[in-house]
Amino acid sequence: MKIHGMCLVKNEADVLQECLIAALHWCDHIYVFDNGSNDGSWELVKKLARQYLQIIPYKQDDVLYRNGLRADIFNAFRSNAGSQDWWCALDADEFYIDDPRIFLAKIPSHLQTVWSASLNYYFTDQDAILYQQDPIKFLQTPVQQRLRYYLNNWGELRFFRHSDDIVWTTTQGGFPPIMFTAPACPVRIWLKHYQYRSPKQIEWRLLTRRRAMEARTGFWHEAKPNWSITVATKRDAPLDFEDTGPEFAGSQWQDRIVPAASLDYDAFDRRYVVNENLMPEFPVRLGPADHIRAVIPQPLRPPLGRLRRQALLLRSKLRLNW
């Protein structure tokens, strides 16, 4: 079993090295697509790749962001994967609590996906005080020690099994469409997500993501009205994005300060608060296609999968020509 990380990066130089080195402990290959960084992120990726062969700089392209850019990575490197391998959507600002290699090795073969419980760490009023007291000390502290207040208010598809019959294009979203209904492991994998790390980084984040927000191709969670209250303290149901708009995103770091008293505190004792009611549900039952797959002998699955993928691609071309 190998694990292939698909990492999209844009202006994450302050945390990128910390994240990639942590992922090296469980990821066999990390394919990095830089979406037009101008803060030194791409240069850092290439430097790390010279030290660690697992890191593969794929390309730098300032194309308009959308989640489907991961499909570009997948299709470029899918030939590296075997039938027992897993693909991971690896964000450049997250760290896994569970060891993915141990977690994935325990999953029965009929389950195809793993969904996360994302513990989102916020920049709070307490962090603002510490930053203003000593900005240099604050920024020199590793992010996992620096930020302590979080809320588990999201979870999403993070891993899927490789199959030769997967069809996935850049217009189809952040994962192959079939994986959103594929049978999932009933246990979530836990991770820490650090999107808001310092005043300068927060303002840079809002600026560089505005183009995608205006085009409505991504980052809807940044564009909620009354962001600090609505997003970070919502406790009754999963987040919805019906009332989002780029005009609500703001541009100042003060717009992203969250009251520490409204969040949970990470005491480094591995006693995390997980809120299942705040995370989208995921599929756990087998569908008809999965029952058919289960009776096909393992040696026959790769060639049959390739034939199915070719047939689906041909059907798509015929539809376009029609």
For the segment 111-148, what is each residue's pLDDT rounded down to a tens digit? 999 999 999 999 999 999 999 999 999 999 999 999 99
- Residue 127 tokens read as 């962090």
- 29-55: per-residue pLDDT in tens? 999 999 999 999 999 999 999 999 999
Task: Provide mean pLDDT across the span 61-69.
Answer: 94
- Domain assignment present for 194: yes
Helix axes 41-51, 13-23, angle to 10 degrees: 30
Cβ-based neighbour number of residue 42 at 10 Å: 22
Burial bucket for residue 248 (CB in 10 Å: 0-12, 13-18, 19+): middle
- Domain assignment present for 106: yes
What is the full DSSP assignment across 258-273? B-GGGSEE--SSS---
Shared-domain flag, residues 214 and 294: no
How far lies 90's CA from each of 2, 80, 86, 230, 247, in Å? 15, 17, 12, 26, 29
- Domain assignment present for 199: yes
- Domain assignment present for 225: yes
Q: Which helix (H) or strand (E) holds 311?
A: helix 301-321
Burial bucket for residue 238 (CB in 10 Å: 0-12, 13-18, 19+): middle
* Pairwise CA distance, residues 32 & 41, whole Å: 11
Shared-domain flag, residues 235 and 311: no
- Domain assignment present for 246: yes
Cβ-based neighbour number of residue 54 at 10 Å: 15
Shared-domain flag, residues 199 and 265: yes
Cβ-based neighbour number of residue 321 at 10 Å: 6
What pLDDT is attached to residue 231? 77
4 close to 90: Cβ distance less than 8 angstroms: no
- Domain assignment present for 47: yes
Question: Shortest CA distance to 257 belongs to which of 204, 208, 207, 199?
Answer: 199
Shared-domain flag, residues 103 and 209: yes
What pLDDT is attached to residue 175? 95
pLDDT at 292 over 80: no
What pLDDT is attached to residue 245? 86
What pLDDT is attached to residue 228? 86
* Rg of the chain taking only CA atoms, in angstroms: 20
Cβ-based neighbour number of residue 89 at 10 Å: 21
- Domain assignment present for 41: yes
Shared-domain flag, residues 299 and 155: no
> What is the count of structural domains for the chain?
2
* Pairwise CA distance, residues 147 & 126, whole Å: 10
Shared-domain flag, residues 180 and 293: no
Shared-domain flag, residues 107 and 61: yes
pLDDT at 238 over 70: yes
Shared-domain flag, residues 137 and 202: yes
Shared-domain flag, residues 42 and 98: yes
pLDDT at 239 over 80: no
What pLDDT is attached to residue 208? 92
Shared-domain flag, residues 230 and 306: no
Task: Provide mean pLDDT across the span 239-268.
Answer: 89
Question: Shortest CA distance to 79 belongs to which of 29, 144, 41?
Answer: 29
Shared-domain flag, residues 272 and 313: no
In the chain, what percentage of residues exceed pLDDT 70?
88
258 close to 149: Cβ distance less than 8 angstroms: yes
The least confident of 1-10, 164-173, 313-322 is: 313-322
Collapsed DSSP state (helix, strand, coil) of residue 133: helix
**Cα angle, residue 78 at apex, residues 176 and 321 outer, rounded to 5°:** 60
> Rounded mean pLDDT of the chain?
90
What pLDDT is attached to residue 116? 97
* Pairwise CA distance, residues 103 & 111, whole Å: 13
- 138-196: per-residue pLDDT in tens? 999 999 999 999 999 999 999 999 999 999 999 999 999 999 999 999 999 999 999 99
- 277-290: per-residue pLDDT in tens? 999 888 875 455 55
What pLDDT is attached to residue 320? 47
Q: How confident is the model at residue 321 (pLDDT cuts 50, 70, 90)?
A: low
Shared-domain flag, residues 273 and 292: no
By residue range, what is the domain housing residue 317? 288-321
- Domain assignment present for 283: no
